[in-house]
A and B are shown apart, each in its own frame.
Chain A
Amino acid sequence: MSFVSLKFVLFVLVAVVGYYNIPKRGQWVWLLLFSYAYYASAGFKIVPFLLFSTMVSYAAGILLGQVNNLPTELEHRQKRKRFILIVALLLQFGMLFALKYAHWIFGNLFSLRQWLLPLGISFYTFQSAGYIIDVYWEKFAPEKSFLRYALFVSFFPQLLQGPIGRFNRLAQQLYEEHTLNWTQIEQGIQRILWGFFKKMILADNAARFVDEVLWWNNYQKYSGTVILVAILGYSLQLYGDFSGGMDIVKGIALFFGIDLDENFKRPYFASSIADFWHRWHITLGTWMKDYVFYPISLSKPMNRFGKFSRNTFGKQLGRALPIAVANLVVFFLVGVWHGANMKFIVYGLYHGLLIALEGLLLPYTRAWDNKWRNLATLRTFLLIQISWYFDRADHLDHAFALMQKTVTDFHITDFWNGTLFLNGANRIGPWFYGILLVGCLILYLVSYYQEKGMQLGEWLCAKPVAVRFMVYLILLYALPALGTLSSSSGGFIYAQF
């Protein structure tokens, strides 16, 4: 059931109306029922995978909780904990591997992917794995009720494309009783409309041009200039699609009084690649930081390497080297997380290498970057554009071919001689560019004021009812009038992961 469908609007409407009209102690059960109904609407055959992930992490939590309660001085306590952790993570990631990656290594013989790839599997696997590790680290006691825990894994707005939730921030909100709050509902509507603006007017409009130009069978027809514009369009498409989707998810969750973690904070305003990852897909970045980056960096072998490196290369370089190595591992995994394709691994390693380089050069660049922040932002933006070649291409050779064409077949005159309108059946007129340029200007202004710390949602909520109503009405009218609807992958790029 796509977010961009009348069926989904009705589904949410029934869920919200019922939520506030049943006895409050049953609200979380209501959410659980709707969450499974939502997931099952994509096909009953994918439900067992969600259940398996839930059962494994629930059981691991309970077992770890029992061992956590044993006296710390007891022999084998730590060994038992580690055994449970390893088995649970192997089962969790084993399922993900079999469904998403096995075909890549073993061919179709040992892969389940030929039958199905359950929607959102990467998201709920990571969310469940995070819970297991947190209980292992004794951050909190495990959830005793299986059904309550099942809601934490399956809460429907975030099930398909995140944000990847943390038990200690999300679970209590899901279980507590909520009273209807009209301000929160209005804030939810604002986020949803803003999300649809990004999705339908920016992302899906840009996709028409991007898909035509960058398609493997098509790109040779176009000049490097057109390809460059298509890559810029892709950066808009991807941001609009994913962050717009997140706005919709946040908005729907607000209808139930639940405040999900932010997944985007104006990433194209970042002044370094590390800063970009503090702003782009934040919950994946923090997941990797907490559960991969810190454990690797603080492991005994890495500690030994750190000491060796400080003694050998001096304080500055010696400190940075082990962190750079851990970063490379993290971004290799970020690449693999995106899919079983060499282009994603190169995409991840490209980011990892740049962050490692930034870390090594930090003592020399810090002052310059603080002084010339806008130039640092522009540099970061351009470096990110290069990474989109890997992300968007069909495969690695395609990415390099697109890059080569951008450089060797670039003609500045294409910007004003009509080439960018494309030709033939896929002609794209000035109206297309007009909508995108005005849309980008609105996006930039909103982002600029948000970056300055302005709370635009609250600012709008403080305006008279008539003004707010007009703004919402204009947006509601503009969406179908100026927007495009994509039909691939339930409408959202990241739902495929």
Chain B
Amino acid sequence: MNHQSNLEKIIAILQDICPGVDYKTCQTLIDQQILDSFAILSIVAELQDAFDVYLTPMDIQPSNFNSAQALTALMERKKAGGK
């Protein structure tokens, strides 16, 4: 699956869990407290199912969750077997 379709898939998940945010441009999902811990864990559950990866507490960093792009990069790293 290419990068663009991964990004679109993640934006769809984000919209489903926390609607009403422009995920294409927003880079401060954690810094501006748009996503709370409840939303983060819902997103993690969906991402794990959708990408067949396993996330650990170490992955829950603002830098990984601040934007749809950062989440896409995280998923791609995980798929490639990296940290």
- List chain A positions with a Cβ less than 8 A from chain B: 137-139, 274, 278, 289-290, 293-295, 297-298, 303, 306-307, 310, 319-320, 322-323, 326, 359, 362
Pair B60/A294 contact, Cβ less than 8 Å? yes
Pair B37/A298 contact, Cβ less than 8 Å? no
Whole-angstrom distance between the Cβ of B34 and the nearest chain A Cβ: 13
Seed contacts A278-B36, A298-B41; 7 additional CB < 8 Å A-B pairs: A137-B58, A278-B33, A294-B37, A298-B57, A303-B54, A319-B17, A319-B46
Q: How far is the CA of A137 from the CA of B54 in the complex (A)?
A: 16
Q: How far is the CA of A349 from the CA of B46 in the complex (A)?
A: 28
Q: How far is the CA of A298 from the CA of B60 in the complex (A)?
A: 10
The number of chain B residues touching the other chain, given as a range, is: 10 to 19
Given contacts A274-B38, A323-B42, A359-B38, contact A303 B60 (CB under 8 A): no
Q: Can you list 9 A-B contacts with CB-CB less than 8 angstroms, sorted by A residue number? A: A137-B57, A278-B33, A295-B57, A297-B41, A298-B55, A298-B56, A303-B48, A320-B38, A322-B41
Pair B36/A294 contact, Cβ less than 8 Å? no
Pair B44/A298 contact, Cβ less than 8 Å? yes
What 5 A-B pairs have minimum CB-CB distances, sorted nearest first?
A294-B57, A319-B42, A137-B58, A295-B57, A297-B41
Contact of B37 among A289, A307, A362 (CB under 8 A): A289
Pair A310/B45 contact, Cβ less than 8 Å? yes
Nearest residue, chain B, Cβ from A355 = B38
Q: How far is the CA of A296 from the CA of B46 in the complex (A)?
A: 17
Pair B37/A306 contact, Cβ less than 8 Å? no
Within 8 A of A (CB), among B1-52: 17, 33, 36-38, 41-42, 44-46, 48-49
Given contacts A298-B44, A306-B45, A362-B38, contact A138 B58 (CB under 8 A): yes
Q: How far is the CA of A400 from the CA of B16 in the complex (A)?
A: 42
Whole-angstrom distance between the Cβ of B10 and the nearest chain A Cβ: 16
Q: How far is the CA of A137 from the CA of B56 in the complex (A)?
A: 10
A359: which B residues are within 8 A, CB to CB?
38
Whole-angstrom distance between the Cβ of B19 and the nearest chain A Cβ: 9
Pair A323/B38 contact, Cβ less than 8 Å? yes
Q: How far is the CA of A307 from the CA of B52 in the complex (A)?
A: 13
Given contacts A274-B36, A278-B33, A303-B48, contact A323 B41 (CB under 8 A): yes
Nearest residue, chain B, Cβ from A318 = B45
Q: How far is the CA of A307 from the CA of B44 in the complex (A)?
A: 12
Nearest residue, chain B, Cβ from A139 = B58
Given contacts A293-B37, A359-B38, contact A319 B57 (CB under 8 A): no
A323: which B residues are within 8 A, CB to CB?
38, 41-42
Q: How far is the CA of A326 from the CA of B38 in the complex (A)?
A: 11
Whole-angstrom distance between the Cβ of A288 and the nearest chain B Cβ: 10
Pair A319/B45 contact, Cβ less than 8 Å? yes
Q: How far is the CA of A298 from the CA of B38 in the complex (A)?
A: 12
Whole-angstrom distance between the Cβ of A462 and the nearest chain B Cβ: 27
B57: which A residues are within 8 A, CB to CB?
137, 290, 294-295, 298
A297: which B residues are within 8 A, CB to CB?
41, 44
A294: which B residues are within 8 A, CB to CB?
37, 41, 57, 60
Q: How far is the CA of A326 from the CA of B45 in the complex (A)?
A: 14
Q: How far is the CA of A362 from the CA of B17 in the complex (A)?
A: 11
Nearest residue, chain B, Cβ from A291 = B57
Whole-angstrom distance between the Cβ of B39 and the nearest chain A Cβ: 9
B56: which A residues are within 8 A, CB to CB?
298
Q: How far is the CA of A320 from the CA of B37 in the complex (A)?
A: 11
0/1 string, B53-75, CB within 8 A of A gives 1: 01111101000000000000000
Q: How far is the CA of A294 from the CA of B57 in the complex (A)?
A: 6
Q: How far is the CA of A303 from the CA of B17 in the complex (A)?
A: 18
Q: How far is the CA of A359 from the CA of B17 in the complex (A)?
A: 12
Whole-angstrom distance between the Cβ of B66 and the nearest chain A Cβ: 16
Q: How far is the CA of A171 from the CA of B52 in the complex (A)?
A: 38
Q: How far is the CA of A138 from the CA of B57 in the complex (A)?
A: 12
Whole-angstrom distance between the Cβ of A432 and the nearest chain B Cβ: 39
Q: How far is the CA of A108 from the CA of B81 in the complex (A)?
A: 52
Q: How far is the CA of A274 from the CA of B42 in the complex (A)?
A: 16
Among A289, A293, A319, the most chain B Cβ lie within 10 Å of the Cβ of: A319
B46: which A residues are within 8 A, CB to CB?
319
Whole-angstrom distance between the Cβ of A283 and the nearest chain B Cβ: 15
B48: which A residues are within 8 A, CB to CB?
303
